[in-house]
Every structure is written in C-alpha cells, then in structure tokens.
Structure 1
Amino acid sequence: MAGPPRAVAVLRSAVRAGLRVSPAPVLAACSGGPDSVALAAALAFEARAAGVRVGGVTVDHRLQPGSAERAAATAALLRGLGLDPVRVLTATVPAAGGPEGAARAARSAALTAAAAELGARVALGHTLDDQAETVLLGLGRGSGPRSVAGMVTVRVDRGVTWWRPLLGVRRRTTRAACADQGLPVWDDPWNTDPALTRARVRGELLPLLEEVLGGGVAPALARTAAMLREDLDALDALAAAELDRLAPGPPGGPLPAVPLAALPAALRRRVLRGWLRAAGVPDLQAVHLAAVDALVGGWRGQGAVDLPGGAGVRRASGSLELLARGHRGPRPGATPDTPEERPRRD
C-alpha cells in the first residue's frame, strides 16, 4: 500500500512527536497561507493516533479588504479538516508603530487569550525559511545574540505554550503538501510588499545570498541559529546558578557587587538581567542593562540608574540595590563610600 506523498509525510512527521508530549489540546493558528494550512492538515491527521484534541484559530486583523470573508473561508477549511473547536478572532491593530510589528503584537494578544481560555498550546507554522529571515534581520539590526539565535521550537510566555514544529521544514515543502492534498491556500500580499522589511529580505536579500554563495544559505543560517542557542542556553544556566549563589533571598534583594564584578562580562550581564527581571522590571533594554552593569564593572561613584517603570538601581554598602518606583535620595544608613565602593581616581 502506497504511503502519502513525500511532502505530506514530512509535515506529519514534523508534528508527530511534539503532539504527544502533552495531553493538552492544541490550537493551530492558521492565516490561510500554505505554511499554516499544511500544519493544520498534519495536526488534524496525527491527532487521531495521538489522542490529542486539535482545534484551529484564525485572526482577522481587519487591515485588508475582504479580510472577514477570508477569515470565514479559513475557518471553514479548518472545520473541513476535522479541527474542533474552530474560532475566528478579531484583532485591533494600533496605528502607532510599524505595521508588521503592530499586527504581530495584536495577533499574539488574541491568540494568548484564546489559548488561556481553552488551556491549549498554540501551534505556529513558521518554517526553516522564516528562521533564516529572522536570523538575517537580527544580524542587520544588531539586536543581540538571542535575536540571531532565532525562534525556538517551544516557548512558554504568560502561561501559554507556543509550539513551532516546522522550523526544520522548507517553505516549498509546505506548499507542495497543500497541493498534494488539494488544499486551497491564500497568498498574503504583505509577504511580497517591498515596503515591508521582512518581505524584502525574503524576496531580495536571501535570493541574492543564495546566488552569491552558491546555495544552501537558509539551512546554514538555521544551523547557525541552533548552535548559537545551545551556547546561549548554557550561559543562561550558568547565570541562573550564579544569581542563586549571590542573591539567594527573595527577588529584588541586594546583589553583592564585588563578587559579581569578578565574573566574565557575558555572564555578569546575564546575572544582572535575571536579577532585574525577577524583580519585575518591565521592558528592560540593552541601554538600561549597560548602565546597571557600569555600577559593577565601571564603578566611579555614579548615582542611581533609572529603569523602565520608574524603578532604579543604586550601588551602596557593597551591593546593588533595587529602588522602588519614584525613588529619590539616598537610603538612610547606606554607606556608598566604603573602601570597596570609593570611586577610582584614575
């Protein structure tokens, strides 16, 4: 007996193991494009053997003419595949900010709410080609190693598990899987709009790199991201252990500066980031982290560092202290000019 076409088999294999790691239901996020439609079809097929309930959700951003009709057609396709429940969500995309980022944030908020309500994981159709684009964008923007490390297969954020089982699958394979199964797909014009950065990376930059470097660029970028993630995960684990050692008390407690200064810079900054995040500091950016790090590695008696949300950090009595929102003036009893704290005069 002949098996399924190769592309269909690749998609089903990609979701099979991950579908079985948890009995929690799965929501397939589907835009109607070939990647997410192929994902939904594979999940629908494998759900029977896995004994996991798989539903579907499509988000109407209301940014293009006919979006409501398109969302309804996508929902009908998902129901035809056997997914249950199937929901159409509407998202309000703010006018401020770039259209790509604003739409992504609005979609994420809508999916988060739906997943939390149903206690479900969210399956996303990002492919190896999406991963390569993400790596290039991270490199070009200089947004740090985590950005260059790309997307992860499983990520938990705000209590919701986000699952990307297709990060090892090429975009051409998802399109072939849809064609082999006779599944209609919609090609979003935003994906080829030269006014959008990712679309230009996809349509111009990656093809040029493929031509100049002789092919294989997208898989090479994805491999680089995977190797970098391994290194970053190891550093993060070491930083977490150092934070537990240096500040074993409740989140936001004092962090000794002198032993922290002895750590390599990459490890020290991760300890600082973990300390600040554990204390609930929101929207921490590289500029904030660099200023706090200067209280350790570049100490010259400078004052407190202001942080997002109105909090701050000061070095006093040999430790970094997190200051509450609206902080002003020295802490009573602090001795910011003890011998180890005195600013260098060089």
Structure 2
Amino acid sequence: MTIRAQVAGVGHYLPERIVPNAEFEQTLDTSDEWIRTRSGIERRHFAADGETTSDLASRAAQAALADAGLVAADIDALIVATSTPDLTFPSAATMVQAKLGMQAGFAFDVQAVCAGFVYALTNANALITSGTVRRVMVIGAETFSRILDWEDRATCVLFGDGAGALILEAQEAAGSSDDRGILAVDLHSDGRYRDLLYVDGGVSTNSIGHLRMEGKEVFRHAVSKLAATAEAALGKAGLDASDIDWVVPHQANIRIIAGTAKKLGLPMEKVVVTVQDHGNTSAASIPLALSVANSEGKFKPGDLVITEAIGGGLAWGAVALRW
C-alpha cells in the first residue's frame, strides 16, 4: 500500500472591500477597458486598514476546517505560503496557529511568490508521505496591496488580496495513478531571472520597496514554463494532458491562462478562471480558485486536477492531484 496526501477540505476568505477597475480611472491614466483587455481582471479585493495577512489566512483556515468537519486540534502542521507576512518574524503561520487555538504541532512559512502554494503543497505532501504527520493545513495568503506602487499603472491594477486554504490528510491507497490525492509534483527555479519580477526593498537592504515587473518578459517565460511543468508532473504520475479533468492555474493574467491551456491542448471549459474577480493574489490565487470552484460543484471525486504557477525568482512548478 501507498500513503497519499488526499484533500480533506478547502476554504477561502476575501476582504470586504471590492475595488472595480473604474476606481483606478480616478488616479491613473487607465481605463476599465484597458485593464480588462490586457489582463482579464474586472475587480479585486483589498484588505482593510489593520487587516493583516495572518487575519486573512485564519479566516480561510476556519472555512477549510468547517468544510472538512475538523477542528484545529486535528491539524498536525500548518504551512502558509506568502510573500507579504505580517512581520519579518515570527512567521505568519505561527500567528495563524495561535489565532486558530492550535497549541500542538508546528507551523512555518514558505516564500516562492506566486508559486508559493505549489511549493507549500509539495512540502505538505512530503511530510505526509514520509509519515511525519497525518494532517497538514496549507494556506496561501497575501496582502499585495501593501507593496504596490500606486503610480505604476502597469502593476498596481493587476494585484489583489485574499487567502485560500486546503487540508491534506494521509490515506492508504493502491499506489496507482487512479489513487485520490497528490500523485506527482514538479518544481523549478532560476535566479538569473530575478529582475523580471521583484520588490525593490527589504530588511537586508534597509529599505521599503514596491513590486516591480517586466510584464512582457514574464509573459514570455510563463506560458512555456507552465505548460512544461504541468506536462512533467503528469508524466511523473504516468498520465498525460488527455487525462486532465481540470486545470487550476495561478490567476495572473487571462492571456497567460489561455495560452497555457492552448499549449496543453485543452479547452478553456476545463480551466478554472477566477482572475476576473480576484486579480492576481500571488500565493493565494490557486487555493482561492480551488475553493471557489469546489463551492460551485465543479469537482467530483476522482477528477484529475492540475495546478501550476510561476512567480518571482523565477520560481515555477505544478502539482497533479486526484480530487
């Protein structure tokens, strides 16, 4: 028998404030049509003053626990994928742990920008399949509104805040590609491309920075790398693109999402798209999309789901899992 990390529950949380594209027309040389045409984004959510990444993460975690019929004490480990933690330290994950009343187990953050949730899922899968823990809560949470340059119309209109959570638990399985749970993962990074997407400040440089992005170059890398990593994860599981029921991609840009689907030979009907409502929520985008799609009844037990993401680093990767 094989131990698989199976999905036990999902949940998400979005801040109350909804920011439509039209709001940016008041301060920037932009328009709703310009933003929609280039990104597919129609609106996004921004955290309220005083509302932190760990606040969003905790609300998503509570929703996932409710979905799974579990309580915080049932969780052995908690991983938060984020590039916008509340503080330099301690980790946002330990803050979430405290807010949930989880007094046992352990918690830590993973930072791989928009690919963070894929990296966190990979860590959670390893913890479970190694026998270290039985249940892991994996959260992607961001308050990217805190690091945006409001005078840069090429970037500030693209990002939003939110959180999504997924609970994985160990279950015995046959060890075949028909098993439910995570079947394979594929991770990559290449630091030569760090200047394509980064924040120009931080603790070690003793400065407060803003997000900077070379959009055209990121797009050029994204489609080919995302399709390749998805195919690699499928190959490791003994599957191919024809087996996919759903793609849940990082919600960065509708053109990247559509371009990747085309490269995989998949119709958009098999792709979960939430970018129009959330914008790019970085590490939160995949778990947000998973939770929204699940709440809409899109997934059924046994569906093959591929998640893939690329972000600053550059860092990218994919996870093949059976729902």
Q: State the TM-score, normalizing by the size of structure 1.
A: 0.27
- Larger proportion of strand: 2
- Larger proportion of helix: 1
Which structure has the larger Rg?
1
